[in-house]
C-alpha cells in the first residue's frame, strides 16, 4: 500500500497498517517542534502528514485512539519551568490549505450547525510564534504561561515581564486572562542566528522556534536579550470587557495597552475573504514579523460560544495555511569562510532561483554537523526555501535526482585561509581555526575594530582593509596607527583628501574611552554594552587584565560565562603583546566618563543607580550620561548593591525587586528636580 493512495480508496486493514507508523512519526515531529524547539522537517511536511491522519480517522472513527496526535493539543510541558493548569483549555486550530477548502469549511459551518452563522468573519494574520496566556488581578500582571499541551503549560511569568509590549499594570483594575502570540521579529531572528553561528552554537530553524526557545529560558536575562514581542487576540471572558464582537475585543485590548496586530479585517462575503488572502499572500515578505497563514474567526462572540469546541479545536475559527514556497536548484560548490572568531562556515553555491521575491544562489549550511545531517553533496538537486521568509535554507535533497557517481562531501580538516588544523571546541557544533594569526580572522577583526560601535574609524571599511592587508601595510590593529600618507598614496583611487580624512579618523580614535577598545578587540561574548560595564567598573584595561574570572564575573550583569571569556582572553601572551603595541602608538587605555561640564559630586559619586521604565522628560541615554558625569555607576540590573532605582512609566519587575529589597526608589519628577538642583 502506497502512502500516496487516496484515503477514500483505503480498506480498513490498509488504514490500520498505515496509522501506527504515521502517528509515531507525527509524535516525533511534534516533540521536536513543541518541546525541543528544533524541528527536523518544514511545517508543511508535518501539516500534510497530519491532515492525512485526520482524514483516515474521520473515515474510520473506530480506529481513533486516545493518544493519537489528533486528540492532543500542542506538546507536553516537560521543561524545568513550573507548571500552570489552564482552567479554560488553550486549544489548537483546525487547518485548511487552499481558498477552496476554506470556502467548503464555511459552507459546512453554515449548513450543518444548529447555530445560525451569518457570513460575518474577522480575519487576522496567523503570527508565526507560540501561544501565550497572561493573567491579571486587579489590573496587575500576576502570571504568564505557555500553552503546553492545552491543559498544562509552563510558568514564564518572569520572562514575559521582560517583553516591552506586555503591560505590567493595566489602566483598569481588571481580573482577567488575555491570550495571544509571542513572536520574534525577523530582524531580531537574523541577528540572533548570526550571533549564535559566530559563537559556534546551533542556529534556530525559524522565528517561531527562536521565540519558543527564548521564552522558555530559566534565566529572564536571556529572554530579555532576545527582543521578543507579542500580539494579543483573545479574551476567554469577553463579557467582562463589555464587547460583543471579536473586532471590538481587539480594539479594547489595544486601549488597555496590549499590542494588537493592526491588520485585522471584518469581511461579509467570500469575495472579501479571498481578496484579504490574496493581499497578505503578496505582503507577507514585507512584514517585519513572520506569518504562516490567515486566521478566520466568527466575529460575533456569542455565536462563538454557541458553536463551542471539539476535543481539540474551536468550531468558530479556522487557519488557512499558506502553501510552501520552494524551488528546486542544483548545488555547484560548497565554500568555507572564516569569521573573526575563527568560526569556519560552509555555504552552498547553487544555480540562481527566484524565491520570495528575490534571486537566491547561496545558502548557509551553518556547520559541519548540519551539512552531514542533510547529506548535501556536490551536484545534488535540492529544495530551497526561506526560513521564516527571511533566510535561504535547503529543505532537503531530492535523492532520486542524485547523480550515480555522487560521493559524500568531505568536511575539511584544515583552515581554507591559513592551513592550520581545524578543531571542535567544547560544547560547540562549529568548526574553528584557533590560529590567532589566521589572515581571514585578522582582516575580519580589523573591520570590527574600525566599526562604528568600536573605535569608530570612519572611512576604514572592508575593501580598504583588504588593500592594506594585500600590500603588507597592516598585520594587526596596532599597525593602523603606524600608517603614513606616503604608504596610502600607493593605494588605487586614494587621493590626498581621502588620505587626510582617514589619518584624522585614526588619530582621533586614539582618544576614545577604553570601552570602545574593549569592544573592538573582539573578545568573545563582549558586546558594546558589556564592554561599557567592564570599563566603568575597572576604569582601565590594565586593571581588567589583572582581574581574575571570579572578580570579573561578580560585576553586575556580567556572570561566569563572560567572566571566564574575558579572563581567558587576557591570559594570552599574544594579547599582552598587542596591548603593549597599542599603548606604544598612543591608544588610550582608561575609562573616560561622558564629556560634560559637570564634575563628580558628593551626592552621586560612587552610587549604583538603575534606570527602568519609560522616561518622558529625557531619554534614557541623557539620564545615564548625566549620572555618569557626576560619578554614579549606572547598571542594568537590581541587586543588593543598588543604591537607587529611578522608575519611569510602566516600570515592571525591576521596580518590584527594588521594593522587595528595600532599595530607595525615585520617580522621574523627583529625579528631574534633583537634576535642576544639582545644576
Q: Which residues are catalytic?
A: 126
Contact at 8 Å (CB) between 142 and 135? yes
Query: Which residues on adjacent β-strands are paired with residue 423?
Result: 432
Q: Give the H/E segment covering residue 397.
A: strand 391-397
Beta-carbon count within 10 A of 235 CB: 23
C-alpha cell at 92: 489548537
Q: Give the Cα-Cα-Cα angle 21, 22, 25 (nearest 5 degrees).
A: 85
Residue 215 and residue 223 in contact, taking contact as beta carbons nearer than 8 Å: yes
CB 90 within 8 A of CB 312: no
Let me know: does 653 contact 162? Beta carbons within 8 Å. yes
> How would DSSP label each residue in 309-378?
B-SSSBSSEEEEEPPP--EEEEEEEEEEEE-TT-EEEEEEEEEEEEETTEEEEEEE--SHHHHHHHT--T
Taking CA atoms, 273 is separated from 103, 203, 276, 277, 638, in Å, by 9, 37, 5, 6, 50
DSSP assignments along 148-168, one per residue: TTSSEEEB-HHHHTT-TTS-S
Handedness of CA 173, 178, 182, 185 (dihedral sign): negative
Helix, strand or coil, per DSSP, at residue 300: strand
For residues 220 and 162, is the Cβ–Cβ distance under 8 A?
yes
Residue whose C-alpha cell reads 531530492 in the numeric block: 398
Q: How far is CA 349 from CA 128, 301, 334, 510, in A?
A: 29, 52, 6, 41
CB within 8 A of 449, min separation 6: which ones? 455, 457, 477, 480, 520, 521, 522
Tally of CB atoms within 10 A around 580: 10
Give the number of other Cβ atoms within 10 Å of residue 377's Cβ: 17
Q: How far apart are CA 189 and CA 226, in angstroms?
A: 8
Backbone dihedral angles phi then psi of residue 271, each to the nearest 5 degrees:
-65, -45
For residues 158 and 177, give the distance between their C-alpha atoms in angstroms, rounded to a whole number. 17
Helices (H) and strands (E) in the chain, counts: 24, 22
Cβ-proximal residues to 461 (8 Å cutoff; 6+ apart), any chain: 447, 450
Parallel/antiparallel/unpaired status of strands 140-146 and 130-137? antiparallel
Grid cell listed for 137: 488581578
- Helix, strand, or coil (residue 524): coil
Distance in angstroms (rounded) separating the CA atoms of residues 409 and 347: 13
Amino acid at each position: 500500500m502506497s502512502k500516496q493512495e487516496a484515503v477514500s480508496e483505503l480498506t480498513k486493514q490498509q488504514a490500520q497498517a498505515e496509522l501506527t507508523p504515521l502517528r509515531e512519526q507525527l509524535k516525533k515531529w511534534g516533540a521536536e517542534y513543541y518541546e525541543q524547539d528544533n524541528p527536523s522537517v518544514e511545517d508543511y511536511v508535518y501539516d500534510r502528514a497530519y491532515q492525512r491522519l485526520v482524514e483516515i480517522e474521520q473515515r474510520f472513527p473506530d480506529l481513533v485512539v486516545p493518544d493519537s496526535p489528533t486528540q492532543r493539543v500542542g506538546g507536553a510541558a516537560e521543561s524545568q519551568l513550573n507548571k500552570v493548569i489552564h482552567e479554560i483549555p488553550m486549544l489548537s486550530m483546525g487547518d485548511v490549505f487552499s481558498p477552496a477548502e476554506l470556502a467548503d469549511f464555511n459552507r459546512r459551518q453554515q449548513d450543518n450547525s444548529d447555530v445560525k452563522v451569518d457570513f460575518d468573519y474577522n480575519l487576522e494574520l496567523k503570527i508565526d510564534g507560540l501561544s501565550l496566556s497572561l493573567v491579571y488581578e486587579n489590573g496587575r500582571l500576576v502570571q504568564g504561561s505557555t500553552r503546553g499541551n492545552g491543559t498544562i503549560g509552563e510558568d514564564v511569568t518572569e520572562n514575559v515581564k521582560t517583553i516591552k509590549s506586555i503591560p505590567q499594570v493595566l489602566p483598569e483594575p481588571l481580573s482577567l486572562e488575555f491570550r495571544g502570540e509571542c513572536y520574534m521579529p525577523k530582524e531580531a531572528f537574523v541577528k540572533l542566528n548570526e550571533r549564535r553561528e559566530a559563537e559556534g552554537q546551533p542556529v534556530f530553524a525559524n522565528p517561531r522556534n527562536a521565540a519558543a526557545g527564548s521564552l522558555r529560558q530559566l534565566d529572564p536575562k536571556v529572554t530579555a536579550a532576545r527582543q521578543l514581542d507579542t500580539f494579543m487576540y483573545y479574551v476567554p471572558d469577553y463579557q467582562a470587557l463589555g464587547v460583543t464582537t471579536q473586532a471590538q475585543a481587539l480594539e479594547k485590548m489595544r486601549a488597555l495597552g496590549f499590542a494588537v496586530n493592526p491588520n485585522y479585517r471584518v469581511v461579509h462575503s467570500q469575495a472579501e475573504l479571498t481578496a484579504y488572502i490574496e493581499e497578505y499572500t503578496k505582503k507577507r515578505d514585507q512584514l517585519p514579523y513572520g506569518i504562516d497563514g490567515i486566521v478566520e474567526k466568527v466575529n460575533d462572540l456569542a455565536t462563538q460560544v454557541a458553536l463551542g469546541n471539539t476535543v481539540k479545536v474551536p468550531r468558530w475559527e479556522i487557519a488557512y495555511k499558506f502553501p510552501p514556497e520552494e524551488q528546486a536548484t542544483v548545488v555547484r560548490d560548497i565554500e568555507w569562510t572564516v569569521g573573526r572568531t575563527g568560526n569556519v562556515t560552509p555555504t552552498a553555491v547553487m544555480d540562481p532561483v527566484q524565491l520570495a521575491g528575490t534571486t537566491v544562489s547561496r545558502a548557509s549550511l551553518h556547520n559541519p554537523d548540519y551539512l552531514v545531517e542533510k547529506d548535501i553533496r556536490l551536484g545534488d538537486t535540492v529544495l530551497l526555501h526561506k526560513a521564516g521568509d527571511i533566510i535561504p535554507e535547503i529543505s532537503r535533497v531530492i535523492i532520486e535526482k542524485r547523480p550515480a557517481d555522487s560521493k559524500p562531501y568531505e568536511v575539511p580538516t584544515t583552515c581554507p585561509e591559513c592551513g592550520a588544523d581545524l578543531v571542535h571546541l567544547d560544547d560547540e557544533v562549529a568548526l574553528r581555526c584557533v590560529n590567532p594569526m589566521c589572515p581571514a580572522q585578522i582582516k575580519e577583526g580589523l573591520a570590527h575594530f574600525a566599526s562604528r560601535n568600536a573605535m569608530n574609524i570612519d572611512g576604514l571599511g572592508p575593501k580598504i582593509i583588504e588593500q592594506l592587508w594585500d600590500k603588507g601595510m597592516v598585520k594587526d590593529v596596532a599597525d593602523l596607527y603606524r600608517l603614513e600618507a606616503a604608504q596610502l598614496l600607493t593605494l588605487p583611487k586614494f587621493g590626498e583628501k581621502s588620505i587626510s580624512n582617514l589619518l584624522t579618523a585614526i588619530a582621533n580614535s586614539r582618544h576614545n574611552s577604553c570601552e570602545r577598545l574593549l569592544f573592538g578587540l573582539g573578545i568573545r561574548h563582549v558586546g558594546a554594552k558589556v564592554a561599557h560595564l567592564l570599563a566603568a567598573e575597572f576604569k582601565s584595561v590594565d586593571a581588567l587584565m589583572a582581574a581574575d574570572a571570579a572578580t570579573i564575573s561578580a560585576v553586575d550583569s556580567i556572570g561566569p560565562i563572560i567572566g571566564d571569556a574575558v579572563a581567558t582572553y587576557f591570559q594570552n601572551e599574544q594579547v599582552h603583546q598587542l596591548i603593549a603595541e597599542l599603548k606604544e602608538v598612543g591608544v588610550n587605555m582608561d575609562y573616560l566618563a561622558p564629556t560634560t561640564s559637570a564634575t563628580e559630586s558628593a551626592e552621586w559619586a560612587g552610587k549604583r543607580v538603575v534606570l527602568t521604565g519609560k522616561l518622558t522628560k529625557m531619554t534614557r541615554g541623557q539620564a545615564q550620561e548625566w549620572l555618569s558625569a557626576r560619578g554614579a555607576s549606572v547598571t542594568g540590573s537590581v541587586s543588593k548593591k543598588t543604591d537607587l532605582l529611578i522608575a519611569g512609566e510602566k516600570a515592571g519587575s525591576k521596580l518590584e525587586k527594588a521594593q522587595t529589597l528595600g532599595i530607595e526608589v525615585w520617580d522621574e519628577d523627583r529625579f528631574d528636580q534633583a537634576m535642576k538642583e544639582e545644576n
